[in-house]
Structure 1
């Protein structure tokens, strides 16, 4: 059973529909005390890091997520909240996955980074099974995780940044797998099959 963590900072339906297309019906969860009953969990997020972290803490999710020992996937802002800190609002994150979230230095390119882009897999991992450097996924963001030892796949838009990160049972995707067509479906399938 998959829980979609509802902090009120995401379009839950697009994530739910993506899993339903794969034959799984996740449960949208608003009660942190119920999290451990689920085999895996997804933390989506859209909006401003400061607001999202405040809501997450106020609603009691911080401890529940920190103590969760099964696969958990953060998507977009959800991924960023799993990290140490963010320049967006100078906010402290959950500190679960090493690395800081910094403003994406796009140079002459438009910001935010919005649209399809290639990802380059740098580490073998159950989450990246069947993904190649020809594969494109859909991004919408203006802040990004620095490439470091937790990076499984990266992308380049003005600068290199992490597209997929993982540490222990926690992982994050900066892009939206639920909006990334067949490649996104493969990634979500990989997440459902990931054993930790």
Structure 2
């Protein structure tokens, strides 16, 4: 299986690559369009600035490739937010627009922002992505922005308010948490994505 981790210059690439290797698969970190086009599974990780990530994708001529990709893509944290249409970060950034959903600053005054650490995730319906993962399982989060619950939400998290923890539209998937830092549940989710 050809597995690609897209190099957005702002991701936890090597931790993800190591987790994939633990499952028994080899992956390649790249921004080469030809290699990405030949992948069976694609990971779009991200940490930090959404503007920097979009600029990197634009510079590498990956915007249209990603928008019209027919292979399974899993956006992780900032990578999930890139799949939306617009983010409030950096006074507003237009993103890939695969999901017709905005990314908003988490708005609560009761708990610290960014939302960092372990929190529970509940899924709305049975899905292959959640195979052998129990309801209310813990995953590791590190983010200040999130998507509200929307038509593409297949799992959610509660941090004073509900937000989308996992989204899906056709072959596009996004997780707001970091599965590569989420222990056994995160490993299982990555395994499920690779075996779908």
- 1:64-79 to 2 correspondence within 5 Å? 64-79=65-80
Q: How much does 1:158 deviate?
A: 2.0
Q: How much does 1:125 deviate?
A: 1.8
Aligned partner of 2:124 in structure 1 is: 122
For residues 67 and 35 of structure 1, the distance between their equivalents in structure 2, rounded to whole angstroms, comes to 12
Q: How much does 1:107 deviate?
A: 2.2
Q: How much does 1:16 deviate?
A: 0.4
For residues 100 and 160 of structure 2, the distance between their equivalents in structure 1, rounded to whole angstroms, comes to 22
For residues 15 and 186 of structure 1, the distance between their equivalents in structure 2, rounded to whole angstroms, comes to 13
Q: How much does 1:145 deviate?
A: 0.7
Runs of 4+ in structure 1 deviating by more than 3 angstroms, as ranges, are none
The number of residues matched between the two structures is 194
Map Cα deviations across residues 114-144 of structure 1 (whole Å, 9 max, x no partner): 0000001112221122222231000000000
Tell me if structure 2 keeps the 8 A contact 1:138–1:179.
yes
Q: How much does 1:61 deviate?
A: 1.0
1:12 aligns with 2:18: no
Aligned partner of 1:142 in structure 2 is: 144
Q: TM-score, normalised by structure 1?
A: 0.96
1:23 aligns with 2:24: yes
Consecutive unaligned residues of structure 1, counting only runs of 5 or more, are none
Which secondary structure does the structure 2 equivalent of 1:162 belong to?
strand
Greater mean deviation of Cα atoms: 69-78 or 48-57: 48-57
2:100 equivalent among 98, 102, 115: 98
Q: How much does 1:71 deviate?
A: 0.6
Aligned partner of 1:36 in structure 2 is: 37
Query: CA RMSD for the aligned pairs?
Result: 1.0
Aligned partner of 2:4 in structure 1 is: 3
Q: How much does 1:108 deviate?
A: 1.2
Map Cα deviations across residues 14-70 of structure 1 (whole Å, 9 max, x no partner): 110110110111011121232111101000001111111111111111111122101
Aligned partner of 2:180 in structure 1 is: 178
Q: How much does 1:97 deviate?
A: 1.8
Tell me if structure 2 keeps the 8 A contact 1:11–1:46.
yes
Aligned partner of 1:62 in structure 2 is: 63
Q: TM-score, normalised by structure 2?
A: 0.96
Aligned partner of 1:151 in structure 2 is: 153
For residues 125 and 114 of structure 1, the distance between their equivalents in structure 2, rounded to whole angstroms, comes to 26
